[in-house]
A and B are shown apart, each in its own frame.
Chain A
Amino acid sequence: MTRLALRGLAARKLRTSLTIVAVLLGVTMIAGTFVLTDTIQKAFDEIFSASTKGADVVVSGRTQVETEFSMPRPLDQTVLDDIKSLPEVAQVAGQINDVAAVVGKDGKIVSTGGAPTIAATYMPKPFAPIGFTEGRAPRGEGEIALDAATADKEGFELGDEVTVATTAPKRPFKLVGLATIGQSTGLGGATFVVFDLVTAQALFDKRGKVDFAFVAARPGTTQTALQRKVAALLPPTAQVRTAAQEADKLGDDIREGLSFLTTGLLAFAFIAVLVGAFLIFNTFSITVAQRSRELALLRTLGASRRQVLNSVLLEALTIGLLGSILGIVAGLGFAKAINALFKALGIDLPTTSLVLESRTIIICLLVGTLVTLAGALAPALRATRVAPVEALREATAPTRGRWARLTPWLAGGLILLGAGLVIAGLLAEGGDTETKLLGAAGGAVILILGIALISPRFVGPAARIVAAPIERSTKLVGRLARENSTRHPGRTAVTSAALMVGLALVVFVTVFANGLRASIEDLIDRTLAGNIAVLHDDGFSPIPAAIGPAVAKVDGVEAVSAFRDTQARIKGVDGKFFTHAIEPSTVGAVYNFDWEDGSDEALRSLGDDGVLLEENTATKGKVEVGDRVDVTGPSGSVELTVRGIYKDDALLEGISMTAAGFDRIVDQKRVSSVLVKTDGGASVPAVQKRVSQAISGFPEARARSQEELKEENADQVNQILGLFYALLAMSVIISAFGIVNTLTLSIFERTRELGLLRAVGMTRRDVRRMVRYESVITALFGALLGLLLGLFFAFVVIQALEGEGITFSLPIGQIVSLMVFAIVVGIVAAIFPARRASRLDVLRAISYE
């Protein structure tokens, strides 16, 4: 029986390869996800372990709350002398770490695609985080080194003048060295400028301070012994880690970020695998039906049910294994493709040689094989029910399963359960978010299975609707196409359901993005009282604080207010909150507070001991106006009195306080945004032009009008939408393969019929059209199901996010595009089967011998 199963696979090459492709594509996404994130992780680990090279322990400011964008408070440089005096210490050196923007030869800031723009200082031997491929370390206030990759990309050579903006305005420096970090010449798009220590201290306003102290032990002193000794010397605001701990700590932050990426990509991979499972189920169902005579013959010859079951499952196992192995190989390519995609969207991630962990291989093999087996199980069980007597019958009537009568009930139950879980997961109050989201995702899968189960009943009526225009214009060909598509409703339904999954998510993200865009526009309109915003070129990185005063001097500017951001905890409340430093005297002119409890009076009376909370934060902390809250930021704590509660969950989400409180909890001098209100009489574009002029010393900052801000935000939403589309494309491609597979198998089944039609005068062109229309009908049915399901998802999710101001609207234009897209998918999927059908040999089709 084993040999028979394998022979069968070899004999049905086309079907086998199409099924393998279904497994392969899903596994490719899983493998690609792991390979990509492992590779990025390894790249970062390499960089971080290089970043402490030569040091045994590293001293830095103590952080109480980990945040993504706040640095620890600098150390007093005197600490270096204290450490140096320890007998265990061989060498100690301070380092400054900050932000510096490099200006390219075109006069514009070198884009890093979201990667950081790092400034660091060179340290003497034995500390060697920074090396040079060419040139030497910078000395004195006029010299810099630049990472070799950026220099190469921008065409800078040793001796060139390179303009760099730091905390101070931009100015030219002489390029004296091309730097490496560990072994790597670049940091995945990041720019890396090296200064000497004294120069950096001056440029970054850190005179007498260092961000890090690197310490090397004398021979014979262990790292942990040194760590203990150094720790005893330090003030409570500083901490010391071993080199390995420091690298791990840096790596942990990245690991956390990457785990989001992994989860996100795996979700898309899971969708692709689910779609693949539909295809596998369908292919096996059809072939078992087509082979029922062969199976019955085997049964007549004495094969047991178990042997029949095993032979079908063995086929599935082989296909699953082959698909998984090929998928792992393809995953290596996919990892590169996703990375290229991210790069195209401006998200540049460092990579190194591709990492294929054994974990990746095991998971891929397991998922690929088990999903194939699961998909083939029901058809395999059906194969065992083929009665020996069917071998003798002329034609086999499709036997209805035992449970057919229960199907509507089961499907209805699944749909209700799935929809219930989705709604409960997204709309229920309280409970763990992660659990609720998982529940909602599980509900979505159950809902999809329920729809797939019941959809055969709707194939007939639905085909009548979607095929109506085709039939009207093409008469017989369209009629036959529609009839063919409804001949085996189960097949068509499962084929469509596979497409439904991908398209439902396309509809969902589209509708959601529409709502998001609209809500951002609305938010900007409602909350921004100013009309010009100065932000970093990339839209989110902080910019030098000197920009605020520079803008205030511009002619035609009525008010300017700057904002600084960090993250902080509130004592007794779970989670971290965005925390802002606002300027109470000017903020009211550029930002409309939507007061829940309090008024603009609260701004005037805020004081350095007061705090304003956003409604959600206040609710979560169960705090009211007048209560005292203990706020802890990265570098310290402060106790404040709540003076007002406002509503806004985008711009000033979380906690707002004055500079005095903010400076106690974090060392964050850079501002996140500077909002400007122009004089009533001044022309906004003219003022914007003058503002741009005034900040020209800070090339990383850019002034936007309100309209430009809205456009930029819409563009960002669109980019993310594009990324989602690209990731969903895999599922749509797999379902297109499903259509190809179903059509090919059906055509094989209808060989005689097609031969007859050709004999009595159907042209090849009409045969192709007939197959194409059948494909289009199937695709449109899938699109229709996907549309309904996607709208349901979007509706529920938007309800869940009601507070965020996202609204639900029917995107008529996009629905039309989706239908057109489905038609295109149908047409493309039909190319191969249609050609096969039209090339059919009429004689072979109608001969009996």
Chain B
Amino acid sequence: MASSVVAGRDLTKRYGEGDAAVNALRGVSLDIAPATFTAIMGPSGSGKSTLMHVLAGLDRPTEGSVEIAGTEIGTLDDGDLTRLRRDKIGFVFQAFNLVPVLTAEENIRLPLTLAGRDDAGGRVERLLEAVALADRRTHRPAELSGGQQQRVAVARALASEPAVIFADEPTGNLDSATSAEILGLLRRAVDEFGQAVVMVTHEATAAAIADRVIFLDDGQVVADDSGLDAEQILDRMKALA
């Protein structure tokens, strides 16, 4: 499907065997369109993190297929998958996002360096400006605040002009003001840089910034809506709990 950057088909993920088997995903299909902000929500154990890992090529589904930027990833070996992650996917995790021995700028440049690519267009410079860290470029992560670290992480995710950015609870460790800042950055990534962003979160206020919210429960998609506000999202979540 050419119009989507990520496509999951009939994804199931089973852990364990026989009676002890746990189905983390039971037949999930979804498409992520370019330049959209998608939030994946659900209670603990709903399978939202597993879904993200499978969609991002970090984990292999038990059944079903995933296509990222037109590449079916089921048949890729570890090396190809790694290169795909490097070139087509950006990641923002909840914590431990940065390599402690590298400076802010080097962390942002990391995907390019790993790929041996030149930063021809001065993208890293623009990203440093965009996340307002130009004056902190030579600082190491330990010398940055939690919010600054996450801004570096977002900039890093954008550095390789990926097809999609996956953000796993990116505001989980932050206070509300800093959270808003990071969410704003992700929003700008969609609006200004035309990125697709997929964010896993359990916070309704965070999900409200997304264009589309997918609700997961017990490994299945139970709702898939666009244009919800925080209140509506909270109601949905309460209904699921």
Contact = CB atoms under 8 A, between A and B. Distances in A.
Interface of A: 475-476, 479-480, 483-484, 487, 752-753, 756-766, 842-843, 846-848
Contacts of B195: none
Contact of B79 (A480, A764, A843, A846): A764
A761 B85 contact: yes
Nearest to B93: A846
Nearest to A758: B82
B101 interface: yes
Contacts of B100: 487, 753
A170 B156 CA distance: 89
Given A480-B101, A843-B53, A760 B96 contact: no
Given A756-B93, A848-B95, A761 B101 contact: no
Closest 6 pairs (CB-CB, A-B): A761-B86, A483-B101, A752-B96, A476-B113, A761-B114, A763-B82
A842 B168 CA distance: 14
B99 A756 contact: yes
Given A761-B82, A762-B82, A766-B114, A756 B97 contact: yes
Most interface-central of A483, A752, A762, A765 (chain B CB within 10 A): A762
B159 to A, nearest CB: 9
Interface of A is mostly: helix
B96 A846 contact: yes
A757 B93 CA distance: 12
Contacts of B95: 848
Given A753-B100, A765-B79, A760 B110 contact: yes
A764 B96 contact: no
Contacts of A759: 58, 85, 91, 93
B101 A487 contact: yes
A616 to B, nearest CB: 60
A765 B101 CA distance: 20
Nearest to B88: A761
Most interface-central of B53, B82, B86, B111 (chain A CB within 10 A): B82
A483 B140 CA distance: 12
25 contacts: A475-B116, A476-B114, A483-B101, A484-B101, A753-B99, A753-B100, A756-B93, A756-B97, A757-B110, A758-B82, A759-B85, A759-B93, A760-B86, A760-B91, A761-B82, A761-B111, A763-B82, A763-B83, A764-B82, A842-B58, A843-B53, A846-B96, A846-B168, A848-B94, A848-B95
B83 to A, nearest CB: 7
Interface of B: 49, 53, 58-59, 78-79, 82-83, 85-87, 91, 93-102, 110-111, 113-116, 156, 160, 168
Contacts of B115: 761
A757 B82 contact: no
A480 B113 CA distance: 12
B45 to A, nearest CB: 10
A663 B91 CA distance: 94
Contacts of B156: 760
A487 B113 CA distance: 21
Contacts of A480: 99, 101-102
Contacts of B116: 475
Contacts of B79: 763-765
A559 to B, nearest CB: 75
Nearest to B113: A476
A475 B91 contact: no
A807 to B, nearest CB: 46
A843 B59 CA distance: 7
Contact of A762 (B58, B97, B114): B114
A441 to B, nearest CB: 40
A843 B168 CA distance: 12
Most interface-central of A480, A483, A761 (chain B CB within 10 A): A761
B49 A760 contact: no
A487 B101 CA distance: 8
A706 B156 CA distance: 73
Nearest to B53: A843
A760 B58 contact: no
Nearest to A848: B94
A452 B170 CA distance: 44
B49 A847 contact: yes
Given A480-B101, A761-B87, A763-B79, A753 B96 contact: yes
A757 B99 CA distance: 8
A760 B111 contact: yes
Contact of A756 (B59, B82, B96, B113): B96
Nearest to B91: A759
A476 B156 CA distance: 15
Contacts of A479: 102
Given A757-B110, A762-B82, 18 more contacts: A475-B116, A476-B114, A480-B99, A483-B102, A484-B101, A753-B100, A756-B93, A756-B98, A759-B91, A760-B86, A761-B83, A761-B85, A761-B115, A762-B114, A763-B78, A763-B82, A763-B83, A764-B78
A384 to B, nearest CB: 27
A846 B170 CA distance: 13
Contacts of B59: 843
Contacts of B111: 760-761
Contacts of A762: 82, 86, 114
B167 to A, nearest CB: 12
A476 B110 CA distance: 8
Contact of A475 (B53, B83, B113): B113
A848 B87 CA distance: 25
Nearest to B140: A483
A86 to B, nearest CB: 92
A166 B150 CA distance: 92
Nearest to B90: A760
A847 B48 CA distance: 13
A764 B83 CA distance: 11
A789 B46 CA distance: 62
Contacts of B83: 761, 763
A786 to B, nearest CB: 27
Contacts of A758: 82
A487 B102 CA distance: 12
A752 B97 CA distance: 9
Contacts of A483: 101-102
Contacts of B58: 759, 842-843, 846
A790 B27 CA distance: 68
A145 to B, nearest CB: 73
A746 to B, nearest CB: 12
Contacts of B91: 759-760
Contacts of A475: 113, 116
A752 B95 CA distance: 10
Contacts of A761: 82-83, 85-87, 111, 114-115, 160
Contacts of B160: 761
A765 B86 CA distance: 14
B201 to A, nearest CB: 14
A764 B77 CA distance: 11
A569 B49 CA distance: 90
A483 B58 CA distance: 27
Contacts of B101: 480, 483-484, 487
Nearest to A765: B79
Nearest to A766: B114
Contacts of A753: 96, 99-100
A760 B114 contact: yes
Nearest to A751: B96
Contacts of B49: 847
A583 to B, nearest CB: 76
Nearest to A484: B101
B113 A760 contact: no
